Amino acid sequence: MNRSAVETAERLASRHRKGRLFEWACLGATSLGVLVLVVLLVGVCVQAWGWLDGDFVSSYDSRHPREAGILAGIWGSFWLIGMTAIFSVPIGVGAAVYLEEYADRSWLTRLIQVNLANLAGVPSIVYGILGLTVFVRMFGAFPDGKVIVVSLGIASLKIPIPFGRTVLSGALTLTLLILPVVIVAAQEALRAIPGSIRNASIALGASRWQTIRLQVLPAAAPGILTGIILALSRAIGETAPLVMIGALTYVAFTPGGIETPIDVIRDPQGVLDAPYDTFTALPIQIFNWVSRPKVEYQHVAAAGILVLLIVLLVLNGTAILIRHRYRKGIRW
Partner 1 sequence: MVTESTQSPEPPALPSLADITTAFSDVADVAERERAVKVETIDLDFFYGDVQALFGVSMQVPEQAVTALIGPSGCGKSTYLRTLNRMNDIIEGTRLSGTVLVEGQDIYAGGIDVVALRKRVGMVFQKSTPFPKSIFDNVAYGPRVAGEKNKAVLTEIVESSLQRAALWDEVKDRLDDSALALSGGQQQRLCIARTLATSPDVVLMDEPASALDPASTARIEDLIFELKKNYTIIIVTHNMQQAARISDHTAFFFEGKLIEFGVTRELFTRPGEQQTEDYITGRFG
Partner 2 sequence: MTSQRNSVGDGSVPQTLTGRVTLGRLKEQAVKAVFFCCALLSIGTTIGIIYVLVTEAVVGVGDSQAFFQEVSLVEFFTETRWTPQFADKHFGILPLLTGTLMIAGIAACIGLPVGLASAIYLSEYASPRVRNLVKPVLEVLAGIPTVVYGYFALVFVTPYVLRPIFQDGLGLDVGVFNAASAGIVVGIMIIPMVSSLSEDALRSVPQGLREAAYALGSTKLDVSLRVVLPAAFSGVIASFLLAIARAVGETMAVTIAAGQTPDLTLNPFRSVESMTAFIVNVSLGDTAVGSIVYKSLYAVALTLFVITLAMNILSQAVLRRFREVYQ
The vertex-76 CA angle with 87 and 71, nearest 5°, equals 155
Taking CB under 8 A as the rule, does residue 316 contact partner 1? no
**Binding string, residues 209-228; x marks residues near partner 1 by CB under 8 A:** -x---xx--xx---------
**Binding string, residues 76-105; x marks residues near partner 1 by CB under 8 A:** ----------------------------xx
Which of these ranges, 73-81, 266-274, 303-311, 324-332, lies near partner 2 under the rule CB under 8 A? Answer: 303-311
Taking CB under 8 A as the rule, does residue 204 contact partner 1? yes
Which of these ranges, 76-84, 147-155, 215-223, 235-243, lies near partner 2 under the rule CB under 8 A? Answer: 235-243
Count CB-CB contacts under 10 A for residue 104. Answer: 6
> Which of partner 1, partner 2, none does residue 214 bind to, with CB < 5 to 8 Å depending on kind?
partner 1
Q: Find the binding residues for partner 1 in span 59-78 (CB under 8 A).
A: none
Instruction: State the Cα–Cα distance between residues 238 and 304, nearest whole angstrom.
Output: 15
Min separation Cβ 95 and partner 2, Å: 4
> Which of partner 1, partner 2, none does residue 206 bind to, with CB < 5 to 8 Å depending on kind?
partner 1
Among 201, 226, 233, 288, binds partner 1 (CB under 8 A): 201
Instruction: State the Cα–Cα distance between residues 189 and 256, nearest whole angstrom.
Output: 37
- Which residues here bind partner 1, judged by CB under 8 A? 104-105, 194, 196-207, 210, 214-215, 218-219, 330-331
